[in-house]
């Protein structure tokens, strides 16, 4: 049989265990609670700390994507401008001839000087030059093809008249001969001098 001393020892241990166990259990619970609270705190901190970073990263990604699209479009426009410039360089030498063929005004004075010069070169005499009236109103926003009609009266020999007409046809400014009236000059007593009336049109943009 167990001695009284042993029985008392067991009783004391059990009693101590009862007293200590709640304390230990409370300590464990406190540790678990503290750990859980720490984990929750870290999680919340991570969410609030990382969210702005993720938002910033997303915004930067979109900006980079938009910048790439913009750069692509800009590069395409630059390439198109380079192509246009290359095409322009091909025709740049011809531009003065284009404006000469189709000026931006009727420019009667220059046209009259051109006809006088052609008459002098071809050996004919320009006796008369009459222009039809044209509108001198304010320049419109959208230009259209216009024409100015005129009649040129000349005298000269047949070969000279033919040369004058050839110069008119090949002149830089577009001149269309609508009608040619030929009569023998009454004032001529030698050779086959003729008098011609040319009804013409010259075009311009206005």
176-190 confidence digits (pLDDT tens): 999 999 877 665 555
Q: What is the pLDDT of residue 206?
A: 72
pTM: 0.55
Q: Tokens for 110, please give them.
A: 């220059």
For residue 180, list its beta bridge partners: 198
| pLDDT score recorded for residue 140 | 62
Q: Give CA separation, 112 vs 19, 44, 107, 171, in Å.
A: 130, 92, 9, 13
* Residue bearing the bigger pLDDT, 39 or 33: 39
């Amino acid at each position: 049989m167990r001695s009284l001393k042993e029985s008392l020892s067991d009783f004391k241990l059990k009693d101590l265990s009862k007293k200590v166990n709640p304390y230990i259990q409370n300590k464990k619970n406190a540790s678990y609670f503290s750990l859980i609270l720490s984990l929750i705190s870290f999680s919340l901190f991570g969410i609030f700390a990382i969210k702005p970073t993720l938002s910033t990263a997303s915004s930067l990604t979109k900006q980079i994507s938009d910048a790439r699209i913009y750069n692509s479009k800009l590069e395409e426009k630059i390439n198109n401008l380079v192509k246009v410039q290359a095409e322009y360089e091909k025709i740049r030498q011809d531009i003065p001839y284009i404006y000469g063929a189709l000026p931006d005004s009727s420019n009667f004075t220059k046209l009259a000087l051109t006809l006088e010069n052609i008459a002098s070169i071809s050996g004919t005499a320009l006796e008369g030059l009459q222009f039809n009236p044209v509108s001198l109103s304010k320049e419109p926003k959208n230009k259209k093809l216009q024409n100015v009609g005129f009649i040129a009266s000349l005298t000269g020999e047949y070969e000279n008249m033919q040369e004058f007409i050839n110069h008119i046809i090949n002149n830089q400014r577009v001149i269309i001969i609508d009608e040619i009236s030929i009569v023998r000059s009454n004032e001529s007593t030698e050779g086959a001098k003729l008098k011609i009336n040319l009804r013409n049109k010259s075009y311009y943009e206005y």
